[in-house]
Amino acid sequence: MNRYPMWKYVLIGIVALIGFIYASPILFPSDHAIQITPQGKSVVDEKVLQTINAQFKENGIIVKEVEAENNRALYRFKDAATQLKAIDIVRQTIGEENYVSALNLAATTPAWLRYLHASPMYMGLDLRGGVHFLMEVDMEAALKKALNNYKETFRNELINKKIKYKGIAIIDGHLEVSFSDKATFDRGLKVISSLANNELTLKEEETEKNEVKLIATMKEATLKAKKSFALKQNITTLRNRVNELGVAEPVIQQQGLDRIVVQLPGIQDTARAKSILGATATLEFHKVDIENSAVSAKQSGVVPSGDKLFSDADGNPVLLKRRTIIEGDSITNASAGYDNQSNSPMVSLSLDSKGGKRMLKFTSENVQQYMGVVFVETKAIPVMVDGIKKLSKKITKKVINQAQVREPFGNRFQITGLDSTEEAHNLALLLRAGALAAPVYIVEERTIGPSLGAANVNAGFKSVALGFVFVLVFMALYYRVFGLVANLALALNLVLIVAILSMMQATLTLPGIAGIVLTVGMAVDANVLIYERIKEELRNGLSPQAAIDSGYAKAFSTIADANITTLIAATVLFTFGTGPIKGFAVTLAIGILSSMFTAIMGTRAIINSIYGNRKVEKLAI
C-alpha cells in the first residue's frame, strides 16, 4: 500500500532536474556593459577597438572583458559607475553619428547552460532596471506633412477639373493658391471647399499683381486633431517596433502633449533598440531622369527643372523626378529575403489599394523607364548651442535602388541592391512596423535602476526569503517529518517557478514577487489540508497506511477547487490587467500549477518512499 510506480518517480526526477537546470542562470549576475554597433558602412575593427582601449587606459577605466564579433563590440565592467564613465569616453572618442553606443547588461551564464538555451529571467525596471527612452514627436513636421497632403490633394483635383492656377505653396504655416482672375478663383474655391471637409479656414486675398489668392489655414480643432493623431500613431508604431524586438512587458505611454516614454525592461540588445526606435525611416519612389546627366548637374550645381539631385550608397549622383510616385505610408507589409537572380539581399513590399493603383498607373505608362527608390532617415544629432546641448534634426536621403520597369505591377514588388542582409532586415522591420506620422527624437536615454530604490528591492527579495523561512520552521516544528517533506516540495516549487519564468523569458517585477510570496503560502496550504486530514483519519481509528491514502484522496477535491478558483482570478487579472498587474497574475498562475504538482504528487512520492509498503506503528506528523 502507498507505493508509486517507477515511472512516477522518474517523471518527478526529470521535472526536478529540468527545473534546477533552467533556474540556475539566476545565480549568475549580469555584468554592466557597453555595446557598440556600427551604422551604415562603418565597421568595428581592431583600429576602433585600439582607439577606445587607449582612451580607457588614459582615463583609468578598468575593463573586465571585451567581446568583438559580427562587427559589434561588447565591453564589460565591474560596476555601474565605471560603465557610466566609460560610455561618455566612448561617445567622445568614436562619435554618435557612425556608431551606436548604448548601455547594456550582459549575461554571465556559462556556455553549457547557454547551449541548453537556459537564460536568466528578465527583471523589470523596478528590479533589474533596463533602458528608458524619452522621445519627442516633431509636431511641426506633423503639421507640415498635413499641409503637404492638402497641397497634393488640391493640386491633383484642380488639374483634374482643368482649373488653371498660377501657383500653390506652403507659407508661414498656411497654404496659398494663386489664381489669375476672380472667375477662376471662384471655380477653384468651389473645388477646394469640397475637399477641405470643414478642417480649413478659407480666405480670399487680392494681390498688387491683380491676382486672387486663396489662403487655407488649419482650424484650431484641426491642429489639435492632427497633433493627437501624430502622437497616437507614433505610440502604435513604436509599440509595433518594440514587439518586433521581442521585448517582454514593455512600457510605452504618452507623456505630456508631444512626448512618449518607452521603457524596455531586461532588453539584451540595447544598441539595436536605440537604432530601431530612434530612426524615422521611410521610402520614396521617383522616376529616374535618364535624359539629363546627373554628374553634370552635380558639377555645375544646376539641376534641371522638375528634378532633384540625390546620391546613391556609393556617393554617385542620381537625378530623379521631383514628383513622388508613392511614399512609405502606402506600404502595408515588408519582409526581408534573398534574391537569387541578383545574388543580393532584397525586401518584398506590399502596398495598400491606393498606393497599388498609383504604382500600377505609373508602371503601365513607363514601361522600359527607370524607377528610383529613396531611403529617407531622420535622426536627432546632439549639438552644442551657446554651451547648451540641443538636438538638431538631420535628414539623410540616399537612393538604394534603380530598376527598369519591364512590365506593369501594382501591389507587390521587390527592392534589391541593398548592402547587407542586416540592412534588409532592419529596413523591413521599420517598414513593417508602420510609418511614423511624424519624426520622433530620443531626447533622453538612460539605464535605470530600481524605481523604488535599492531598499525596496532588497525588501522584495527578503519578503520571499523570510516568508519561505518562517513557513519552513513552522512546518518542521508542527508536522515533524511530514513538515520536512512539505518543505522539500516548497523548495522545489520555488525552483520550478523560477525555471518556468526563465524558460518563458517573462519579466519579473515587484508585483510578480508578491505573486510568488502568495504562492508560497498557498502551496503549503495544500499540505496543511492533507496533513490535517491524515491526522483526522488517525483519530478515527484508521491505520497509518490507510490514513495516508485516505488523507491524500479526500483532500484532493478541496485543494483542486481552491486552486482552480484562484487560477480563474489570475486569468481574469492577466486578461484585463496591464503591466505590473499582468506580472502578478503570471507568477500567481505559474505558482498555482507548480504547487499542485509539488504539494500533491511530489510530497506523496516522498511519503510513499518513507512509509509505503511496510508496517508502520506511528506516523511522525
| Residue 197, domain CATH | 3.90.1150.10
φ, ψ for residue 46, nearest 5 deg: -65, -35
Residue 439 has pLDDT above 60, yes or no: yes
User: Is 358 part of any domain?
Assistant: yes
d(CA 427, CA 226): 27
Q: What is the pLDDT of residue 246?
A: 47
d(CA 51, CA 98): 15
The total number of structural domains in the chain stands at 4
Q: What is the pLDDT of residue 519?
A: 83
Model confidence over 106-165: pLDDT tens digits? Answer: 788 888 998 888 888 777 777 766 778 888 888 888 888 888 888 888 888 888 888 888
- Residue 155 and residue 94 in one domain: no
Q: What is the pLDDT of residue 272?
A: 60
- Residue 371 and residue 306 in one domain: yes
User: Is 303 part of any domain?
Assistant: yes
Q: DSSP letter at 312?
A: B
User: Is 267 part of any domain?
Assistant: no
Q: What is the pLDDT of residue 403?
A: 81
Residue 13 has pLDDT above 80, yes or no: yes
- Residue 395 and residue 409 in one domain: yes
- Expressed in angstroms, the distance from the first to the final Cα of the chain is 19
Q: DSSP letter at 266?
A: T
Instruction: Give the domain range for residue 385.
Output: 279-447
Q: What is the pLDDT of residue 309?
A: 92
Q: How is residue 361 written as a grid cell?
A: 498607373
Q: DSSP letter at 126?
A: T
- Residue 87 and residue 185 in one domain: no
Q: Which of 27-36, 97-106, 290-299 has the highest mean pLDDT?
A: 290-299
pLDDT higher at 42 or 158 = 158
d(CA 349, CA 367): 20
User: Is 134 part of any domain?
Assistant: no
Model confidence over 50-77: pLDDT tens digits? Answer: 999 999 999 999 999 998 887 888 899 9
- Residue 285 and residue 425 in one domain: yes
- Per the CB < 8 A criterion, the answer to whether 312 and 272 are in contact is no
Average pLDDT over residues 365-387: 78
Average pLDDT over residues 244-249: 52
Residue 18 has pLDDT above 90, yes or no: yes
- Residue 544 and residue 443 in one domain: no
- Residue 491 and residue 397 in one domain: no
Q: Look at residues 418, 447, 476 and tell me which one is the last residue of a structural domain.
A: 447
Q: How is residue 267 written as a grid cell?
A: 532588453
φ, ψ for residue 317, nearest 5 deg: -70, 145
- Residue 506 and residue 433 in one domain: no
Residue 510 has pLDDT above 60, yes or no: yes
Model confidence over 561-582: pLDDT tens digits? Answer: 888 998 999 999 888 876 678 8
Q: What is the pLDDT of residue 100?
A: 74
State the SS3 of 472-491: HHHHHHHHHHHHHHHHHHHH
User: CA quadruple 17, 19, 22, 25: dihedral positive or negative?
Assistant: negative
Average pLDDT over residues 315-326: 89
- Residue 311 and residue 441 in one domain: yes
Q: Look at residues 48, 83, 106 and tell me which one is the last residue of a structural domain.
A: 106
Average pLDDT over residues 195-211: 81
Q: What is the pLDDT of residue 449?
A: 54
- Residue 11 and residue 84 in one domain: no
Strand partners, 385: 388
Q: What is the pLDDT of residue 266?
A: 57
Close Cβ partners of 300 (under 8 Å, ≥ 6 residues apart)? none
Q: Assign 1 a pLDDT band (cuts: 50, 70, 90).
A: low
Q: What is the pLDDT of residue 27?
A: 86
Beta strands in 242-343 (DSSP E): 251-255, 259-265, 280-288, 307-311, 317-327, 331-339
C-beta atoms surrounding 155 within 10 Å: 13
User: CA quadruple 591, 596, 600, 601: dihedral positive or negative?
Assistant: negative
User: Is 374 part of any domain?
Assistant: yes
Strand partners, 236: none
Q: Look at residues 395, 424, 447 and tell me which one is the last residue of a structural domain.
A: 447
- Residue 574 and residue 546 in one domain: yes
Q: What is the pLDDT of residue 287?
A: 92
d(CA 98, CA 101): 10
Segment (H or E) for 374: strand 370-385
User: Is 423 part of any domain?
Assistant: yes
Strand partners, 374: 284, 399
Residue 231 has pLDDT above 80, yes or no: yes
Q: What is the pLDDT of residue 404?
A: 83
**CATH number of residue 58's parent domain:** 3.30.70.260
Q: What is the pLDDT of residue 153?
A: 82
- Residue 533 and residue 496 in one domain: yes
Of the candidate ranges 47-51, 358-362, 412-416, the one whose mean pLDDT is the lowest = 412-416
**CATH number of residue 607's parent domain:** 1.20.1640.10
Q: What is the pLDDT of residue 15?
A: 93
Q: Assign 11 a pLDDT band (cuts: 50, 70, 90).
A: very high
Q: What is the pLDDT of residue 54?
A: 92
Q: What is the pLDDT of residue 453?
A: 47
d(CA 478, CA 144): 74
d(CA 428, CA 412): 14
Round the average pLDDT of the chain to a whole number and report it: 82
Residue 373 has pLDDT above 90, yes or no: no
Average pLDDT over residues 313-328: 86
Helix, strand or coil, per DSSP, at residue 400: strand
Q: What is the pLDDT of residue 280?
A: 60
Model confidence over 170-187: pLDDT tens digits? Answer: 888 888 989 888 888 888
User: Is 68 part of any domain?
Assistant: yes
d(CA 388, CA 89): 19
User: Is 127 part of any domain?
Assistant: no
